[in-house]
């Protein structure tokens, strides 16, 4: 059932990628399909007392930077990319301004320094995509705001090794389909839920179902990043592309080199498969590293990946970890961020520097405020476009401890 249609003017970008407007009564409306500074007719689809959500149905006065979506599936309702109507260079600036706004508003950072990191291609990089199976078993993304499948035979943002499986694979009646590849090794894997029934893909592709994982079976691929080969299991997290992972490592290393180059003790919180624990180096010899991770699959991968390095991997939930002394903490938490227990853990290490890798600006804003309460000053952030054509943003931030606090 269609909702009310009204005319609005957008003013800014909100966390998550929607644009902000106000209706005639002054209520905040979050609008998809718009840019800041546009006048558009929108359909309200979620109305609350304090805010509403809407989608653009007609642009009356377009803002500079509006383009025709380069992927034909956007017009069919595919919900995989929400910013294809925005020029790539404008996407970069919107992500930067989104982060600066949230650091000032929610993080309490006065005049936050937020810069854009090294450029990454908006298309053809993503080595992991998640979707479902359509009526005939073809890969499908979900329609915007619904679970209804939209079958696709291509994907603009996907790596070619992924796109081949999107186009040619058959996934039975799987409710969830994850395609993951190693772009630099050529290895490929498909994870389906609840089982692998009806899955048909090329012989080189590893196929595993969530039912098999529950019974203890394991499967993995390998990827090459930062001069190392990394094992990544089906239930382990890894960055969206090797190019993006390389860029993150470089950004983190630059901050460590600037603020704590002579450290000898480093802690990698939420270390995943060990990317930062195995890549961030000190100018001093004999660096000791502790990695902290709760996910069993990632812990197994990290111990395998770093077996030849002086790194100790601790399997424990962040809130139950007994902090080790450190001079540098690198933290790459999930979307929910460090939260109070994670910030407490950072502070208890006594580290002079915390490098925080964030994938959600709202969590970054909250974590910045909590770190500030523990005496850590925001020393700058850099945004990375790991998720081209979407409102998602990856942020690398430095927080330096004020020893006089």
Active site residues: 359
How many Cα atoms occupy the beta-carbon half-sphere of 161 within 13 Å?
19
Token pair of 168 as six digits = 């040619």
402 close to 354: Cβ distance less than 8 angstroms: no
Beta strands in 174-305 (DSSP E): 176-181, 188-193, 199-200, 205-209, 220-225, 228-233, 265-269, 288-293
Alpha carbons 94 and 12: distance in angstroms, whole number: 9
Beta strands in 252-326 (DSSP E): 265-269, 288-293, 311-315
Token pair of 295 as six digits = 């996910």
Please, which residues have CB within 8 angstroms of residue 251's CB and are 6 or more apart in sequence? 117, 118, 382, 384, 396
Cis, peptide link before residue 194, omega less than 30° from 0:
yes
DSSP string, 2-59: ---EEEEE--EEPTTSPEEEE-TT--EEEEES--TT-EEEEEEEEE-SSEEEEEEEEE
Expressed in percent and rounded to 5, the helix, strand and coil fractions of the chain are 20, 35, 45
3-state secondary structure of 403: coil
CB atoms within 10 A of CB 136: 9
319 close to 339: Cβ distance less than 8 angstroms: no
Alpha helices by DSSP H, 114-209: 160-168
Scan for tokens 């990856």, then name that residue. 394
By DSSP bridging, strand 28-32 and strand 19-22 are antiparallel
* Residues 368, 397, 369: CA angle, nearest 5 degrees: 5
Q: How far is CA 186 from the centre of its chain?
A: 23
Token pair of 81 as six digits = 């990319």
Q: How far is CA 119 from the centre of its chain?
A: 16
């Amino acid at each position: 059932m269609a909702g009310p249609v009204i005319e609005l003017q957008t003013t800014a970008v909100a966390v998550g990628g929607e644009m902000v407007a106000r209706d005639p009564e002054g209520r905040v409306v979050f609008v998809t399909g718009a840019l800041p500074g546009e006048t558009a007719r929108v359909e309200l689809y979620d109305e609350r007392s304090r805010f509403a959500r809407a989608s653009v149905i007609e642009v009356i006065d377009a803002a500079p930077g509006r383009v025709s979506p380069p992927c034909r599936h956007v017009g069919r309702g595919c919900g995989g990319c929400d910013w294809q109507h925005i020029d790539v260079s404008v996407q970069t600036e919107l992500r930067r301004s989104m982060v600066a706004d949230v650091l000032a508003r929610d993080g309490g950072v006065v005049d936050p320094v937020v810069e854009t990191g090294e450029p990454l291609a908006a298309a053809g990089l993503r080595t992991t995509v998640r979707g479902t199976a359509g009526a005939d078993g073809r890969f499908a993304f979900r329609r915007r705001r619904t679970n209804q499948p939209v079958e696709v035979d291509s994907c603009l943002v996907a790596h070619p090794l992924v796109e081949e499986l999107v186009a040619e694979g058959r996934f039975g009646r799987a409710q969830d389909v994850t395609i993951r590849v190693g772009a630099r090794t050529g290895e490929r894997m498909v994870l389906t839920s609840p089982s692998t029934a009806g899955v048909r893909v090329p012989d080189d592709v590893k196929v595993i179902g969530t039912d098999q994982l529950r019974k203890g079976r394991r499967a993995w691929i390998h990827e090459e990043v930062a001069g190392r080969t990394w094992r990544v299991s089906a239930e382990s997290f890894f960055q969206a592309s090797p190019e993006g992972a390389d860029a993150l490592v470089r950004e983190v290393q630059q901050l460590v080199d600037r603020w704590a180059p002579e450290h000898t003790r480093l802690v990698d919180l939420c270390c995943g498969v060990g990317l930062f624990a195995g890549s961030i180096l000190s100018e001093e010899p004999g660096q000791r590293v502790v990695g902290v991770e709760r996910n069993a699959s990632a812990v197994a991968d990290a111990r395998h990946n770093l077996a030849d390095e002086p790194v100790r991997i601790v399997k424990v939930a962040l809130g139950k970890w007994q902090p080790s002394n450190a001079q540098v903490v690198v933290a790459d938490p999930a979307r929910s961020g460090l939260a109070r227990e994670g910030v407490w853990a950072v502070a208890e290490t006594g580290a002079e520097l915390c490098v925080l890798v964030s994938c959600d600006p709202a969590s970054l804003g909250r974590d910045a405020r909590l770190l500030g309460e523990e005496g850590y000053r925001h020393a700058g952030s850099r945004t990375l476009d790991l998720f081209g054509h979407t409102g998602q943003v990856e942020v690398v931030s430095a927080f330096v401890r004020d020893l006089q606090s």
